């Protein structure tokens, strides 16, 4: 069975001021990436062009770090049924899985699922996980992952779900990550613990070092399609409606920033509205409601039928600024 991304097509929209890209037409109109296949050809050949770049050798430190001292946390009240809220019917109000990136040494508010297991992941071994079990939280950690679950109170056939925010403190690689976790009726959330901004920029620059601009774009699109990003990327999940056409429902689902390289990836979900079938193309997304310095657009399926949706990836690049 062919992979779904085989049907994806790709165009580059180059700004007129960006002169390092040969073949960019005047006025910033879309240009086909050199070497990319025509529309509806297999995307595999394009994806394969984004070959990995070897990481610099000898950069890993052998220094052993002592786990940092965790702050004292006042004991909260005992967990009781009046601390939870009933949600009926037993289904999600938002079916999109969430993924959030947080930085160390600052308090960050996040939303976690109050019914499913939530995951916290770090680029190195997690050294400690502190939370208030009295607030109806269960958690443990192993290796570079930690898992958080809010208790569900049951009374007969009725279920009640936690709604009380709680503090979480995670120690990883000598840094403390402080979270205010608000339980919500959403699917499982993944929290990515990112190193400090300076480390983030260094890692991202090493990721793309010596790579031509076109290869960088292909690497980013490949990562976005597979939803596999380095821990140095800053990821935000959202559900923001975007007005593009009267016969389309368009929502911005995810924004990924690549600090140090000046790239931003936007993932949109597109579905037909009020029509049986609609065809979309890349030019539709050359719109300020979508982004400013648009470098590339990739569409999964161009023909949408009623009840179906597709993903559209847009890459913005600060290099395209005049």
* Residue 115 region by backbone torsions, left for phi larger than 0, else alpha for psi between -120 and 50, else beta: alpha
Using alpha carbons, list the distances in angstroms from residue 186 to 51, 63, 108, 195: 36, 40, 18, 27
98 within some domain: yes
- Cα–Cα–Cα angle for 216, 239, 268, nearest 5°? 40
Cα–Cα distance, 201 to 261 (Å, whole number): 8
Cα–Cα distance, 194 to 74 (Å, whole number): 27
Same domain for 139 and 104? yes
DSSP output for 205-255: HHHHTT--HHHHHHHHHHHHHHT---TTSEEEEEEEEE---TTEEEEEEEE
Same domain for 214 and 316? yes
Total domains, the chain: 2
User: Could you tell me the residue range of the domain that residue 274 belongs to?
Assistant: 4-53+210-320
Cα–Cα distance, 19 to 220 (Å, whole number): 21
Query: Could you read off the pLDDT of 266-275 as tens digits, one per residue?
Result: 999 999 998 8
71 within some domain: no
| Whole-angstrom Cα Rg for the chain | 22
The answer to whether 167 and 131 are in contact (CB under 8 A) is yes
- How many other β-carbons are positioned within 10 Å of the β-carbon of residue 87? 17
199 within some domain: no
161 within some domain: yes
167 within some domain: yes
Same domain for 104 and 138? yes
Q: Is the bond leading into 89 cis (omega within 30 degrees of zero)? A: yes
Same domain for 44 and 92? no
Question: What's the length of the chain?
Answer: 322
The answer to whether 98 and 187 are in contact (CB under 8 A) is yes
Q: What pLDDT score does 104 carry? A: 86
Same domain for 39 and 104? no
59 within some domain: no
Same domain for 160 and 85? yes
The enclosing domain of 186 has a CATH number of 2.60.40
Taking the CA atoms of 152, 155, 157 and 162 in sequence, report the sign of the dihedral they define. Answer: negative
Q: What pLDDT score does 167 carry? A: 93
Q: What pLDDT score does 255 carry? A: 93
Q: What pLDDT score does 11 carry? A: 53
The answer to whether 232 and 203 are in contact (CB under 8 A) is yes
Mean pLDDT, contiguous 10-residue spans, the chain (322 residues): 42 38 36 39 42 43 46 42 38 52 86 94 92 90 94 88 92 91 91 82 89 94 91 86 93 92 94 90 92 93 91 87 44
Which tokens in the block code for residue 52? 């990995």
201 within some domain: no
Same domain for 217 and 189? no
DSSP output for 40-91: TS-SHHHHHHSPPPPPPTT-S-----PPPPPPP-PPPPPP-GGGEEE-SSSS
Which tokens in the block code for residue 13? 């929209």
Same domain for 160 and 254? no
Query: Could you read off the pLDDT of 56-82 as tens digits, one per residue?
Result: 444 444 444 444 454 444 443 443 433
Same domain for 179 and 214? no
Same domain for 113 and 216? no
Same domain for 214 and 189? no
The residue among 140, 163, 193 that closes a domain is 193
74 within some domain: no
Same domain for 38 and 96? no
Q: What pLDDT score does 141 carry? A: 94
């Amino acid at each position: 069975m062919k992979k779904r991304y085989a049907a994806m097509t790709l165009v580059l929209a180059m700004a007129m001021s960006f002169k390092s890209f040969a073949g960019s037409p005047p006025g910033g109109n879309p240009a086909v990436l050199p070497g990319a296949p025509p529309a509806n050809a297999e995307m595999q050949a394009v994806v394969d062009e984004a070959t990995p770049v070897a990481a610099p050798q000898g950069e890993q430190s052998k220094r052993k770090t002592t786990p940092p001292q965790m702050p004292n946390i006042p004991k909260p009240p005992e967990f009781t049924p009046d601390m939870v809220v009933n949600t009926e019917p037993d289904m999600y109000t938002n079916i999109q899985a969430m993924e959030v990136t947080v930085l160390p040494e600052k308090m960050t508010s996040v939303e976690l699922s109050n019914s499913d297991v939530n995951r916290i992941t770090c680029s190195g071994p997690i050294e400690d996980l502190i939370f208030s079990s009295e607030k109806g939280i269960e958690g443990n950690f192993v290796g570079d992952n930690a898992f958080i679950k809010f208790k569900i109170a049951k009374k007969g056939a009725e279920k009640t779900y936690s709604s009380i925010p709680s503090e979480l403190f995670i120690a990883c690689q000598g840094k403390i990550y402080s979270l205010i976790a608000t339980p919500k009726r959403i699917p499982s959330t993944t929290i990515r613990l990112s190193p400090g901004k300076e480390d983030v920029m260094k890692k991202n620059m090493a990721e793309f070092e010596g790579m031509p601009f076109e290869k960088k774009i292909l690497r980013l699109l490949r990562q976005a399609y597979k939803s596999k990003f380095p821990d140095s990327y800053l990821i935000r999940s959202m559900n923001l409606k975007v007005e593009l056409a009267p016969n389309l429902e368009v929502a911005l689902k995810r924004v990924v920033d690549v600090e140090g390289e000046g790239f931003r990836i936007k993932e949109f979900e597109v579905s037909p509205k009020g029509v049986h079938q609609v065809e979309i193309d890349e030019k539709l997304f050359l719109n300020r409601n979508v982004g400013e310095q648009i470098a590339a657009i990739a569409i999964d399926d161009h023909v949408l039928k009623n009840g179906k949706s597709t993903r559209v990836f847009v890459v913005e690049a600060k290099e395209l600024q005049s």
